[in-house]
Structure 1
Amino acid sequence: MITILIGTVLLKLPFATTAPITWTNALFTATSATTVTGLSVFDIASTLTLFGEIVLLALIQIGGVGLMAFAVALLMLLKRRVGMKNRMFLQESFSQQSLGGTVKFLKNILGFVFITEGIAFILLSLLWVPEFGWKHGLYYSLFHVISAFNNAGFSLFPENLIGFAGDLPVTLILSSLFIIGGLGFTVVMDVVTKRSRKQWSLHTKIMLAGTLTINLIATVLLFALEYHNMKTIGSMPIGDKVLTSYFQAVTPRTAGFNMVHVGDMEDSSLLLTLLLMFIGGGSASTASGIKLTTFIVIVVATLAYFRGMTEPHLFKRTVKSEIIFRSLAIAAVSSMLVFTAFFMLTITESFPFLPLLMETVSAFGTVGLSAGITGDLSPVGEWIICAVMFLGRIGPLTLFFLLIRPKKESFKYSYDRVHTG
């Protein structure tokens, strides 16, 4: 919240924008950047100055990798001791099993982030410098690499990445960045440091298999649903159709870039996109949503119940009931949050049902995809979306744990039957 407020003040400075913006617009943009959402109430390239865009990039990088990571990195640069409290924060932030090696893990993460962004920057520069010149080519490359890796979805092009639909190198570079960022740092470190697949954790196996499966299914479905839609991919050559369908299938988790006008997509495609945005990426990643592992645990637990199994299994491992309860709680609280925010928006705004729902779920999943109504939201609507982006990024359970202090039960009541279904 402090980061967002600092960003708001910086974006409201006279030399941060080409024309004056309201405090609400500044807050909305700072929130969207810090929560790496990508929703914007104005055109970034024409409204923000170079200073404003640098502020935006800084907020995206801090919000994507994590404030705690940068805070501890600063302590290390100043050669200050990283205390037990900060180590515990890092352990929780990156879902580590123990405190041992937490600082080393952070160093590896930061090294991986900057090396990955550096390689992608060089590759993208090779494509865009010849097209836009040295000055704009290098800057555009840097901006979009940081935005992509951190799953932000902000673009300096007026129509996002629509002009690059069917461009194989650009599609592969940017999509690879936000897929890697969305897998989670725990998964990346597991794959890089472990010699054999057998040594990978259950979380890593679920994330890799789940990401591959859901991306493949979403690509096939979007290709079929949009095949004849002349407003999106209908007029493209078959190769470009496949490539654009792939990009639109992977971007809802939770990058927010788009290579077609989202508002022109079929209603069925929008509903599929809504589901993908709600699911999101991986834990301890630059993505949000309820998380892919949460979704898979709920599906597996449901199938296990219908099969008469007392405990669900995944990759020859048993999933604890504690994880199942946590997953159900995350899904339930997230659904209530989305419903409440959407209900409030139907009162304050006059847009059709589906675009409003799209805006709400996009804000919760910190995706940034929009049917084109963000810039026309009322001030109250902007505040509602700000709150949803904030809660979507920190996680609804974090808020509930702050409001409701967990306590251990010292006794149990007798059992009784409740009729469900």
Structure 2
Amino acid sequence: MTATARAGRADGRAGVPPWAAALRRAAPALGLFAAARLTGLLVLAAVAHGRGLSPRARLATAWDADWYVRIAAHGYGRTLFWPDGAVQSDLAFFPFYPGLIRTVTSVLPVTGGTAGLLVSWTAAAAAACGIYLVGERLYGRPVGTLLVLLWGLLPHSVVLTMAYTEPVMTALAAWSLWAVLTRRWLWAGSLALLAGLSRPNAVAVAAAVMAAAGCALWRGERRAWRPWAGALLAPLGWCGYVLWVGVRAGDPFGGYFAVQAGWTSRFDFGAGSLAFVKRLVLVPYDLGFPMAALITGVMALLFVLFVLDRPSLPLAVYSAVLVLIAVGGAGFFESKPRFLLPAFPLLIPPALALTKARPRAAVAVTVALAGLSFGYGAYLLTLATMAL
């Protein structure tokens, strides 16, 4: 019996509800995550004030956040036409996050931007808890704690405190994966369904649930209707929205992808990414572009290391789909690190390495990551001119 299982039994004998026991075990990780992101916010606020900018405005209304707030307030129907031929329709944005913003504004006397921040911050905390439980179940408490801390100290983790969808998707994905690992198939499928309504690359969650359910059925798991139900529920959110956009555009199976093409986003098996990297070598770009290439390359390398360690099937499938979409997709090269932000299993190899490192070395690496995360996050929202 693992240490986690023994702790769970002890908590059960003491009359502690399972959710309370899990939250208590996750408390150190959540505290470290909160400290990391709050420090990042303080650094951002100081830099923004020094440049005469509003930290709240940068967090709540920058780039895609403005689209989400507008959808929450007015529904779909906004399209921008640009001289270079780009056609940006708000149908490219999935509905779950704007729906949450609208719900908060109907209950609390806050603006859409503030509601978006409240949703994102709450979702980031929920995601941190789910990530911890996944790491704890598979590798133990130290790795679970470090997994959460590393996720909160990624160079682009400032996104976790913005009115963006990545915290929501990651929360739903982490808890869906935990449900798969604990054989809670209906929960896994239902959470994957909601994740599929949050972001385009959340199809990775459905793929993970379906792969794990298929494996369970192949092994002859008892009460086979539960894996079947989870597998059937998982893709409904993503497929439902894609089909809805397609019907609205007059092309049920191609309409959504035409909308994405209007944003210059398409899947070309990495040809566009490779061409852009070649241009980076020849033409000077803002710091964010070479950093995006570096971060994406490091995440791809971490995926290789992760797979070589023969990970759990649902985590492997989930990570593989996210990496494939990010690396194989063209358009908005600077946003690729953000697309990989939900790929928290890729941080398992460094988390394992830190548990085996000497304490002084582990602290030095953590401090260096924190400095990079806080400094780069402030740069992205106060100095960078490209979209995030």
Q: TM-score, normalised by structure 1?
A: 0.31
Q: Which has the higher helix share?
A: 2
Q: TM-score, normalised by structure 2?
A: 0.32
